[in-house]
Structures are given as structure tokens and as C-alpha cells.
Amino acid sequence: MNENKHSIETRALSLWYGEFQALYNVSVDIGHGLITSLIGPSGCGKTTLLRCFNRVNERYGNVKTSGEIRILGKNIYDPDVELIELRKSVGMVFQRPNPLPISVYENVVFGLRLHTPAKELTRARLDEAVEEALTDVGLWDDLKDRLKRKATDLQLEQQQKLCIARLLPLKPEIILMDEPCSALDVEATRQIEELMLELAGRYTIVIVTHNMAQARRVSHECLFMLMGELVEHSRTEDLFINPADSRTADYIEGRFG
Ligand SMILES: Nc1ncnc2c1ncn2[C@@H]1O[C@H](COP(=O)(O)OP(=O)(O)OP(=O)(O)O)[C@@H](O)[C@H]1O
Ligand SMILES: [Mg+2]
């Protein structure tokens, strides 16, 4: 277990897409085992910041970053950092559930198969990983007799839970979620939120959300961003009841955005 009380630390983090600067000097410490929400108006850089934490931005062409990002105390731009290892410890869940069009079982063990030498992967080890991960996300009872079923045929909220489950066999420290409920209805959203609260503590969760009520319900801390800058990082109840910055107050009271 990580000794550091911060899972993620950035220092003067800036990011450019070509000539366009999308992040300005973001310095933030994200607490270990907490759920932290990134909030702010469309285009303020929430997704960009989230994608910095596993260096996924670099897939999108002409991206340049400056500053530092430390995950569990280690600068992820150090030359000895392996992206594969980084993305194992920093898993990601997307807006639309995106399970692979293969069985439930194979979805859960997909990452494990990629990262583990085949001879170490006995049937028993795989079975155990599947049961543990599906139990952790509350799908085991529903799916234990249907593990061969195609994952893309499941209900949407089951698909999204499965997308969380398939990260778990890799023992991530951090789970990033970019608007994970935006394709889900109210009941499915409630279930995913409940699951996030159950997983907190064991994992550090960073969630991007447009939904202020959701940020309030699920997160311990919130980051409010505006035009690529981090305006405020506060405990959730402070941010909503007594924001430190007048721009935060204007946003949460609906005066813009
Ligand atoms: N691949 C890219 N190339 C160029 N510009 C980009 C790229 N991705 C994002 N941007 C720009 O960077 C800024 C921040 O975008 P980002 O997607 O991080 O915002 P966001 O806060 O997640 O917005 P939303 O709430 O709409 O999802 C926006 O102005 C966006 O147009
Ligand atoms: Mg976004």
C-alpha cells in the first residue's frame, strides 16, 4: 500500500494541443483513497487534466506538456516509466461503456492475460480473478451463470460495472472516470455512484462530472476548473456551501456554464 497520502501530485502542469493552451499551471494534490470530482463548464479542461494522469493525451497527436505529474510519488515523465505499467496502476472508465464484444469472462481477464505470462495464468487463477472482480462491482450474483454471455449484450449499467471490474485484476491504485454516468438513466447512475463509494478507500477515484448533484453526492473533494486553470480545490461540503473563490460561487449557483 502506498505510504504517501497523495496518489496524484501535479506541479505547474501546462498542456498545449498544438498552439492552443488547454491547461495553465495546474498544481494539485489528490488524496489517496478519496473520490475527487473535476467540475467546471464545458471546455474548461476536465477531460484533458484527467487524461494527463495516465498520459493518454499523448495519443492525440500534437500534444505538449510542461511541469510535473507524480503518481504515488513517481514522476510519470521520467524516462524509466513504462506506459504499460502506468496504465495498469491508473485505470480508466469512459462515458459510454466500452466492453469488448467477447464474453463477460474474457472481458474481466483481458488485461490480466495481456500483462501476465501465459504459464502463470492457470484456469483457477483466472476463475478467481473473475469471481473477485465481479463480486467487487456487485455483478457476480447476476452473472455467475452467464459468464460466457457476450458483454455487449448486457444492460448498459452492467456494461459500465463490467468496465470497472475489468480494471481490478490489474490491482490499480487509481481509477479515472470521465462522466461515467452520462449514458445511464437515474437508477443506473445511482448504482454506479453506490459502487464508487464502495470502492473508495481501496482505490483513489477521480471523476469528471457535469452533474453538480452527483459531485456533491459522491465526492470527498472537488476541483473547480475554468478555462484551463484550477480555480479551487476544496472539500466537497466547503466548495458547495462556502466556496473560497467568487468564480466557484457563480458557477455552482448557475450564473454561468
Ligand atoms: N485533441 C484535441 N485537439 C485540440 N484541442 C482539444 C483537443 N481536445 C480538447 N481540446 C480543447 O481543449 C479544451 C479543453 O477540452 P476538454 O475536453 O479537456 O474540456 P472538458 O472540460 O472535458 O469539456 P466537456 O465538459 O465538454 O467534456 C477545449 O477548448 C477543447 O476544445
Ligand atoms: Mg470532457
Please give the tally of structural domains in the chain: 1
The CA 199 to ligand 2 mean position distance, Å, reads 23
**Best mutation site among 13, 19, 46, 57 for ligand 1 pocket (most ligand atoms within 8 Å of CB):** 46
In a domain, 109, yes or no: no
Full DSSP string of 175-216: EEEESTTTTS-HHHHHHHHHHHHHHBTTBEEEEE-S-HHHHH
Which residue among 13, 20, 181 has the greatest number of ligand 1 atoms within 8 angstroms of its CB, and so is best to mutate? Answer: 20
- Give domain status of residue 164, yes or no: no
Residue 35 lies in a domain: yes
Ligand 1 pocket, 43 CB below 6 A? yes
Residue 156 lies in a domain: no
Q: Order of strands, edge to edge, in the sheet holding 74-75?
A: 20-31, 6-17, 63-71, 74-75
Question: pTM, whole model, 2 decimals?
Answer: 0.95
Alpha carbon nearest to ligand 1 atom 6, residue: 17
Query: Which residue range forms the structural domain that includes residue 192?
Result: 6-98+175-252
Cα(237)–Cα(91) distance, integer angstroms: 27
CB 47 less than 6 A from any atom of ligand 1 = yes
Residue 67 resides in a domain: yes
Task: Examine residue 136 and state whether it is found in any structural domain, yes or no.
Answer: no
Q: How far is ligand 2, taken at its centre, from the CA of residue 15, in Å? A: 15
- Sign of the four-CA dihedral 4, 174, 128, 112: negative
- In a domain, residue 195? The reply is yes
Q: How far is the CA of 45 from the centre of ligand 1 (A)?
A: 6
DSSP string over 107-124: HHHHHHHHHS-GGG--HH
* CATH code where residue 91 lies: 3.40.50.300
Question: Does 93 map to a domain?
Answer: yes
The residues pairing with 16 across neighbouring beta strands, listed in sequence order, are: 21, 64
Q: Which of 151, 136, 142, 61 is nearest to 99 (CA)?
A: 151
Tell which residue, 224, 256, 252, has the closest CA to residue 44. 224
Give phi and psi for 51, each to the nearest 5.
-70, -15
Cβ atoms of 174 and 199 closer than 8 Å:
no
pLDDT tens string, the chain, 257 residues long: the values are 445 689 999 999 999 999 999 999 999 999 999 999 999 999 999 999 999 999 999 887 799 999 999 999 999 999 999 999 999 999 999 999 999 999 999 999 999 999 899 999 999 999 999 999 999 999 999 999 999 999 999 999 999 999 999 999 999 999 999 999 999 999 999 999 999 999 999 999 999 999 999 999 999 999 999 999 999 999 999 999 999 999 999 999 988 88
